[in-house]
Amino acid sequence: MKTNQLRQKLEFASLLFAVAAVTVVWTCENSTAQAQETKTEQPKPASAQDLPSGEEVMASHIKMTGGLDAYEKIKNRVSDSTLEIVGAGITLDIKTYAARPNKLLMNLDSKVTGKIEKGCTGKEFWENTLTGGPVVHEGQEKAMGLRESTFERFVYWQKLYESAKCVGLTKVDDAECYEVVLTPKKMDDSDKSKPMSLFLDKKDYLIKKIETVLESEAGSIPVTAYPGDYKKVDGIMMAHKVRIEMLGQKRVATVKSVEHNVDLPEDQFDPPADVKKLIK
């Protein structure tokens, strides 16, 4: 694979995870996570009878974030964000449109990368860049894009993950957290997505940390995210800042504004003409 193609694959995985992390609702009261170095200890041994089930932990998490009724009232989301690649002097402005069940449109722009468009029609995941042109993703990238585009995927996790297993207790900062492993359902035979771990505070069931591995043509990429700066928006708690660590780099996604149930045009999630040609 050529160097610029490899770079594009890595940036695709990074940007997708970053914006997914920003737009997914996480509940956590630690708003200083961005400023502190987070230390994670090895899970403590715990017998099965000492641990709740993964399903119980996820149900408590949904309740603590605002409750299912509050989520059901939200049909779409529009947000303005930035993504900073720390130490590289690169900051992207991001406009994100998301709607049920899994429609997504992301407009990204910076002086370094130029304009980037990414989107999910509900069936296809595509992108359009100045350097790579229009692309309709297949295989692992498509599976990852469809899953990450799902609206409130941790609330409706059973649609995407075949199991949630609570495997132990782990310290994240000063909080003792349940570690819940979510095993994804396979989108198709090419889907090689690996399980992800959520770390939820034992006291209030709020997520402190997420660990996952992104699979793409660039290889397996471990990613760790630390959400922070939580604010209530329309009855649910949302992270407004997420620190992302991957490939030895740190990236910071910051949400500047969020709106729900916006009056969007019917063609909001239609891809541009050159992408439509590829889909046909």
CA atoms within 13 A on the CB side of 186: 6
Q: Which residue, 27, 87, 21, 7, is CA-closest to 223?
A: 21
Residue 112, pLDDT score: 83
Whether 272 is in a domain gets the answer no
Amino acid at 255: V
CB-based burial of residue 268 (10 Å sphere; 0-12 exposed, 13-18 middle, 19+ buried)?
A: middle
What is the mean pLDDT of the segment spanning 97-115?
Answer: 92
Residue 35 pLDDT level (bands cut at 50, 70, 90): very low
Greater confidence (105 vs 13) lies with 105
The answer to pTM > 0.95 is no
Greater confidence (263 vs 49) lies with 263
User: Given a cut of 60, is residue 6 above it in pLDDT?
Assistant: no
The total number of structural domains that make up the chain: 1
Whether 62 is in a domain gets the answer yes
What is the mean pLDDT of the segment spanning 78-85?
Answer: 94
Residue 38 pLDDT level (bands cut at 50, 70, 90): very low
For 183-222, write each residue's pLDDT tens digit: 999 988 888 889 999 999 898 888 889 999 887 666 788 9
Residue 20, pLDDT score: 45
3-state helix, strand, coil in the chain (%, to 5): 20, 45, 35
Residue 230, pLDDT score: 80
For the chain, the average pLDDT equals 83
Whether 280 is in a domain gets the answer no
Greater confidence (158 vs 228) lies with 158
Residue 21 pLDDT level (bands cut at 50, 70, 90): very low
Whether 178 is in a domain gets the answer yes
Tokens of 133: 């042109």
SS3 130: coil
CATH code for position 129? 2.50.20.10
Whether 265 is in a domain gets the answer no
Greater confidence (224 vs 1) lies with 224
Question: Measured between alpha carbons, how far is 280 from 271 in angstroms, rounded to an integer?
Answer: 12
Whether 116 is in a domain gets the answer yes
Q: Residue 38's domain spans which residues? A: 3-256
Residue 205, pLDDT score: 84
Whether 276 is in a domain gets the answer no
SS3 123: coil
Whether 92 is in a domain gets the answer yes
Say which range, 63-72, 165-174, 220-229, has the weakest mean pLDDT.
220-229
